[in-house]
Amino acid sequence: MNRRTFITGAFVSTAALAVGVNLSTSFTRQEHVQSSHRMLFATLIPIFLDGALPDVATHKEQAINRTLNTIEATINVLPQEQREEITLLLNMLESRFSLLLITGSLTPLILRQPFELIDMLESWRQHFITLLNTAYLGLREVIMASYYASPEHWGRLQYVKPTFVVGDN
């Protein structure tokens, strides 16, 4: 396995719980998550969060946008090395050549059907190559953590945080 592939595999789960919403407020948008990466995540979010996202189309779109912003912020609060690794993976998932290697198909992820994406994630999840398990887990964790970070997304959980005391942060 070459170094480039290895680094990419190693990175992803590091994003796990690093939800950077709060710290992100004073960040100006950085280059790390380019709009193309937003499109990639926008493709994967409905797959990972099927059944969790709101049913009403406009609410669903808002929820996806909020999650995309959180993912962006999350990546910004990671230590530099991990941030670089994430960018590398995202770039790979957008490169047709790497996609062919990882998924056996040249079709960009954003052009694939939901069932194809589910199959792809399931195959990464079950795969005997650790690298692909890690890619699945990393994407899963960053998307799940970023979605459930927002109080707006707790409706289906029937959960709200206590309101007896309000911090200033």
Partner 1 sequence: MAIIDPIEVGLAAGWQHVDAGFLDKDKHFDADVVIVGTGAGGGTAAEILSQAGLKVLMIEAGGLKSSRHFDMEERTAYPNLYQQAAAMKTADKGIGIFQGRTVGGSTTINWTTSIRTPAPTLDFWQQQRSVSGLTTSSLQPWFEMMEQRLNIHQWDYQPNKNNAVLRDGCKKLGWQHTVIKRNVKGCWNTGYCGMGCPVNAKQSMLVTTIPSALNAGAVLVSRAKVTDIAHRQDNVTSLSAIAQNEFGQPTGVKLTFSARHYVLSAGAIHTPTLLMRAKTPDPHLLLGQTFLHPTLLSGAIFDEQVNGHSGAPQSIYSDEFVWSDGAAGALGYKLESAPVHPILIASKTIGFGESHAQLMAQFNHLQVIIALVRDGFNQDSPGGRIRLTDNSFALDYPLNDAFWQVAKRAFKSMAQLQFAAGAKQVLSMSDGQSMVSSLTQAEHAIDNMEIGLLKTIVASAHVMGGCPMGEDKTQAMIGSNGQSHYLENLSVFDGSMFPTSLGANPQLSIYAIVAKNATALAKKLIR
Q: What does the binding site for partner 1 look like in residue numbers (CB under 8 A)?
A: 10, 13-23, 26-27, 47-52, 70, 74, 76-82, 118, 121, 125, 130, 133-134, 137, 140-141, 144-145, 147-151, 153-154, 156-159, 161-162, 164-169
- At 88, phi and psi to the nearest 5? -60, -45
CB of 168 vs partner 1, minimal distance in Å = 5
Q: Considering beta carbons, is residue 57 or 106 the nearer one to partner 1?
A: 57
Report the distance separating Cα 92 and Cα 137, nearest Å: 16
Reading the block at residue 134, the tokens are 């890690």
Q: Considering beta carbons, is residue 34 or 82 the nearer one to partner 1?
A: 82
**Which of 41, 32, 30, 29 lies closest to 94, judged by CA?**
41
CB of 123 vs partner 1, minimal distance in Å = 13
2: Cα within 13 Å, side-chain hemisphere:
4
